[in-house]
Amino acid sequence: MSLNRALIFLGPPGAGKGTQAKQIAERERVPHLSTGDMLRDAVARGTALGQMAKPIMERGELVPDDIILGMVEERLSRPDSAHGFIFDGFPRTIPQAEQLDKILARRGFGKPLVIEFRVDSEKLLRRLSGRWTCSVGGETYNIYERPPKVPGVCDRDGGKLVQRSDDRPEVVNERLASYERQTKPLVDYYRRHGVLEVVDGSASIAEVNRALDEILKRAEG
């Protein structure tokens, strides 16, 4: 079985889209693409676009769309993208989505299939702000959903658990709010184009996986 299409996973941080994208990409033998990975790869390989992006990234600034989209087009022209691919967290804005539509058309792909991972914001907040990381081995726990046996201590190596600054409730709140602001219009854009499907990102990994399978089967038929 081959995917033969562009899949786009949209969802807030913590909605589980990365986990699902990885699993489906492995199963379907298609690349799992995020702009972060593409940027790092282009910089590492020293491509023309990578060289342009490098100083911008080093200054901590946002890499402009023309570089991002150039990189996307380059990535999609590689042989391993011929039978489809999964975008994880890209596009982020309507202009990027419009340009991506053009790239897909040029490369002979039809409309993308877009999956929105929807999660109740209370649940997301618990999922994200409950996350504590082992200072020794990097294992992650969730004090609500998957607590360590002894509070504050890693089960595996006894390391002290710490909360990354990104996972503090006030930071999480801001990350979620900015995702909402940015992504709502994008979700509407894809809905208008009739390519949007929604999954419940608060379900278990296996359940979300099943839901995605059904969507993919339906889309094939």
**H-helix segments, 29-80:** 35-45, 48-58, 65-76
Active site residue 168: no
Judged by beta carbon, residue 136 or residue 205, the one nearer Zn ion is 136
Tell me the window of 52-60, 104-112, 121-129, 148-156 that interacts with Zn ion (CB under 5 A).
148-156
Establish if 115 lies at the interface with Zn ion (CB under 5 A). no
Q: Which is nearer to Zn ion, 135 or 182 (CB)?
A: 135
Count the residues of the shown chain that bind Zn ion, applying the rule CB under 5 A: 8
Residue 87 exposed, middle or buried by CB count within 10 Å (0-12, 13-18, 19+): buried
Closest approach of Cβ 140 to Zn ion, in Å? 9
Tell me if residue 181 falls in helix, strand or coil: helix
Q: Does 152 bind Zn ion (CB under 5 A)?
A: no
Task: Give the residue, chosen from 13, 18, 148, 159, that forms a contact with Zn ion under the rule CB under 5 A.
Answer: 159
| Comparison of 121 and 140: residue with beta carbon closer to Zn ion | 140
Long-range contacts, 123-126 (Cβ 8 Å, 24+): 123/202, 124/12, 124/14, 124/15, 124/172, 124/176, 125/169, 125/172, 125/173, 125/176
Assess whether 78 carries a catalytic annotation.
no
* Residues with a known catalytic role: 17, 92, 131, 164, 175
